Structure 1
Amino acid sequence: MSPRLDDLPTSLLCLVLDRFEAPELLRLACTCRKFHAIATDFGKTGQYWRRLYKRQYGLYYEYTCITNGEQLTSGGWKELYKKAFLATRREMQRKRQKRVTIIENDIRDVNREIRTLKEEANDLINQERSHSKLCLEIGRGRSAEVALKTWSPVSVSVWHKQVVEQAPCDPDTRMEDLQAKVKVTQLLLRKVLQRLETKKRKLSDLEESLQSAKS
């Protein structure tokens, strides 16, 4: 037969409860009358709160545990721990909110950078299409010139030659220039897309950090 809680000596239960922190002790005191009575006795004597305060806030113990050269009363230790606990919690909340604000600002900055990179990528895509289209048109012009030389009467060939000579540059030079621009544009586009993916991964990490900071 398992021993009941009432069968255990109070001194043993006091040693067990002394291992708990204040929030845990208060929750445990709500589970049964025995624990509640012992926790109440801890509050009356003040020894539990004194030990707990010294253990958690020992750095300031010598400066705060004595008032006007007199030892604090039992109720004073509990009140002192309460004030220190609330002050610590407020400080933790302030630091948490500060971290949340920093992450939210970083998220806004990254979103702005992502929008800029998307616009830059769209501009490069349109530029590449424009250059490729011009290359295609020049290629068709070359084919037409070959066809004119092969099949057209002399008068048509002469007219086409005059039109070509009036162009700012010859088709070959123009084609080489456009092909070089297409290659440069494609290279720039790849770099922009790589930066865009990096920013997206950073945004995902920041969103996870924000969720963790708020929880």
Structure 2
Amino acid sequence: AFFSFLLIPIPFLVGYTAGIARNLMNGDKLPLPEWGEDIGKLFMDGLYIVVAQLVYTLPFWILMCIGTVISVGSAGLSEVSEDLAVASLFTSFGLIICLAILWWIFLILVTPALLIQYVRTNEFGALFRFGEVYALTRDNIGDIVITVAVGLGAGLVIGVVNGVLQVIPCLGTILALVFTAAASPWLMFAFGHLYGQIAAKSSGGAAKPVM
């Protein structure tokens, strides 16, 4: 129940990020959405994007399940030939791990494109028009890579700060949670600006450089 409570704000934050990107794409001078304007829309926008992102992870989990099945099957082969079982396990599982890593890299790159696709179309179904999502990712790959790099760098900084805070006796864990809770929204709002610039560029609008 506690973790469910922590998950509730995620659609709001993602929806707010999408709102910033949409306003920036449309050229609004004040891109920050007002929370009171339509909080239901913010939640639903965020929920649609989060659900789509989860759907895109399904091939990864399917590959992991296949790997588990192969591991069990290889254990059965050990009764026939232990060498054959080991060779089969390493070959098959190694191939699946490589495919899973490639898909995870694809997910990292396509995640920004999903939010941008939704901002441009305001359609949940558009998130599953795979050709459009792929084209959006391909055509803006440079800006998306920069955005992902910024995210990874920011995540690393947050992780280091959390590690330092947790060294503090008693209060360390609490301080780390407070810091993460405070930093995460600001990080997502910054991404809203980056996504908005990419959305404006891909829509033919005047966009400032991502960095």
TM-score of the aligned structures, taking structure 2 as reference length: 0.29
TM-score of the aligned structures, taking structure 1 as reference length: 0.28
Larger Cα-atom Rg: 1
More helix by share: 1
